[in-house]
């Protein structure tokens, strides 16, 4: 059975990933999950575990970025009493606790080189010893690694071992960012809306114009950001503040550089940049410039501008807000009318 949350990954981009998961789940192969923050790497890792013969055993996660080297080593492999200051008693690590289950090594790109060597050893030999111990412990753990780092660049910079990379990268799953699978957004919004309405005892709805804004937005924080957005709508009891905030973000533009658009920083040098997304942003920017020009020409007479641009008055009002154009010489009442429409 595939994880219920995966049922929401309905886009054509996610279909091959769902297929791949069904195929690899029943095997013991190591899987490397890659994708921007918040794309659902952990959800996918849990889906693999649940669909595997190990489903009845533990699924454990260790965040390699959250602990300094020595603590991470003890977290993974455990320690013997007296292994280091503060090791008052023997403690088994996650590799032991996840025996016959699945272990997710999150942010694997942050693992110190010394530990990478130890991990490689475990993967090759299926055994290890606790920190400060001699005893050899056999391990039967299915390993899933996740990262949003460019591991190839880390290898070139000698920060990530090549042999470990190939050992982990038996099956690689690249999870596309949410902006490349926008058709999933309405389903996700409905799902989160129901979840938070139940959680907070509310009956808040998302109006259609907010849903359109949600579908349009580039969601740099991916599904996590969308989830938080819907949570705020439910907690506040209205979609307006979140709606307006997202419009502001849209007007500032996604952080990829688009020809003709004001220079913007790229989110991260390793972040993939989709050509489709660049085209979408360029079109949005061209629209913004054209609308602004026409509005200036007709002294912000919006009815006249709508006629010249051959769009409806309502569509123009929406676009003015969407493009973040400042309404000039308009009294506050009218401005509010534009924002609310």
Ligand X SMILES: Nc1ncnc2c1ncn2[C@@H]1O[C@H](COP(=O)(O)OP(=O)(O)OP(=O)(O)O)[C@@H](O)[C@H]1O
By beta-carbon proximity to ligand X, the closer residue of 78 and 229 is: 229
Exactly one of 3, 20, 42, 324 binds Mg ion (CB under 5 A); which one?
42
Exactly one of 17, 21, 40, 323 binds ligand X (CB under 6 A); which one?
40
- Residue 177: C-alpha distances to residues 180, 232, 312 (Å): 6, 22, 33
CB 150 within 8 A of CB 270: yes
**Binding range to ligand X, per CB under 6 A, among 4-12, 120-128, 200-208, 270-278:** 4-12
User: Within its chain, how far is the Cα of 252 from the centroid?
Assistant: 21
What are phi and psi for residue 197, nearest 5 degrees?
Answer: -60, -40
**Distance between CA atoms of 235 and 229, rounded to whole angstroms?**
10
- Residue 37: C-alpha distances to residues 95, 146, 234 (Å): 25, 10, 23
**Distance between CA atoms of 179 and 246, rounded to whole angstroms?**
14
* Rg of the chain on CA atoms, in Å: 25
Exactly one of 10, 22, 28, 37 binds ligand X (CB under 6 A); which one?
37
**Residue 138 burial (10 A CB sphere; 0-12, 13-18, 19+):** exposed
CB 97 within 8 A of CB 140: no
Exactly one of 43, 211, 271, 282 binds ligand X (CB under 6 A); which one?
43
In the complex, minimum distance from the CB of residue 136 to ligand X, in angstroms, rounded to a whole number: 33
By beta-carbon proximity to ligand X, the closer residue of 6 and 131 is: 6
Q: Are strands 59-63 and 102-106 parallel, antiparallel or unpaired?
A: parallel
51 interacts with, out of Mg ion, ligand X, none, CB within 5 to 8 A per kind: none
What are phi and psi for residue 330, nearest 5 degrees?
Answer: -120, 135
Q: Are strands 102-106 and 142-147 parallel, antiparallel or unpaired?
A: parallel
By beta-carbon proximity to ligand X, the closer residue of 73 and 227 is: 227
Q: By three-state DSSP, how is residue 308 classified?
A: helix
By beta-carbon proximity to ligand X, the closer residue of 84 and 200 is: 200
What tokens were used for 233? 């709508």
CB atoms within 10 A of CB 56: 8
In the complex, minimum distance from the CB of residue 302 to ligand X, in angstroms, rounded to a whole number: 39
In the complex, minimum distance from the CB of residue 110 to ligand X, in angstroms, rounded to a whole number: 12
| Residue least distant from ligand X (Cβ) | 40
**Binding range to Mg ion, per CB under 5 A, among 33-41, 126-134, 270-278, 329-337:** 33-41
Exactly one of 2, 8, 204, 267 binds ligand X (CB under 6 A); which one?
8
| Contact call for residue 104 and ligand X (CB under 6 A) | no
| Residue least distant from Mg ion (Cβ) | 42
Contact code string over 167-206 relative to ligand X, x by CB under 6 A: ---------------------x--x---------------
38 interacts with, out of ligand X, Mg ion, none, CB within 5 to 8 A per kind: ligand X
| Contact call for residue 227 and ligand X (CB under 6 A) | yes
Provide the binding-site residues for ligand X, judged by CB under 6 A. Answer: 5-6, 8-9, 35, 37-43, 148, 188, 191, 223-224, 227
Provide the binding-site residues for Mg ion, judged by CB under 5 A. Answer: 41-42
């Amino acid at each position: 059975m595939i994880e219920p949350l995966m049922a929401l990954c309905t886009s054509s981009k996610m279909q091959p990933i769902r297929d791949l998961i069904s195929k690899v789940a029943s095997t013991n192969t190591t899987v490397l999950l890659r994708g921007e923050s918040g794309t659902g790497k952990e959800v996918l890792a849990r889906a693999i575990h649940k669909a595997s013969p190990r489903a009845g055993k533990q699924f454990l996660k260790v965040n390699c970025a959250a602990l300094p080297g020595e603590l991470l080593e003890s977290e993974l492999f455990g320690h013997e009493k007296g292994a280091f200051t503060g090791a008052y008693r023997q403690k088994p690590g996650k590799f032991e606790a996840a025996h016959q289950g699945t272990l997710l090594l999150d942010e694997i790109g942050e693992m110190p080189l010394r530990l990478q060597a130890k991990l490689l050893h475990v993967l090759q030999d299926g055994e290890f010893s606790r920190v400060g111990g001699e005893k050899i412990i056999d391990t039967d753990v299915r390993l899933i690694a996740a990262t949003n780092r460019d591991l190839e660049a880390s290898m070139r910079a000698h920060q990530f071992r090549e042999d470990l990379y190939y050992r982990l990268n038996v099956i690689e799953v690249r999870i596309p960012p949410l902006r490349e699978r926008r058709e999933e957004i309405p389903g996700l919004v409905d799902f989160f809306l129901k979840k938070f309405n139940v959680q907070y005892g509310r009956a808040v709805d998302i109006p259609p114009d907010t849903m359109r804004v949600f579908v349009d937005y580039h969601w740099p924080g991916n599904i996590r950001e969308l989830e938080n957005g819907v949570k705020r709508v439910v907690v506040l009891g209205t979609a307006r503040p979140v709606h307006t905030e997202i419009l502001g973000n849209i007007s500032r533009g996604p952080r990829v550089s688009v020809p003709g658009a004001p220079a913007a920083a790229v989110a991260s040098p390793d972040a993939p940049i989709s050509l489709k997304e660049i085209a979408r942003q360029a079109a949005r920017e061209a629209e913004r410039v054209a609308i602004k020009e026409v509005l200036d020409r007709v002294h912000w007479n919006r009815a006249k501008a709508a006629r010249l641009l051959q769009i409806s008055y309502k569509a123009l009002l929406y676009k003015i807000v969407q493009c973040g154009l400042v309404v000039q010489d308009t009294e506050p009442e009218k401005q509010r009318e534009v924002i609310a429409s």
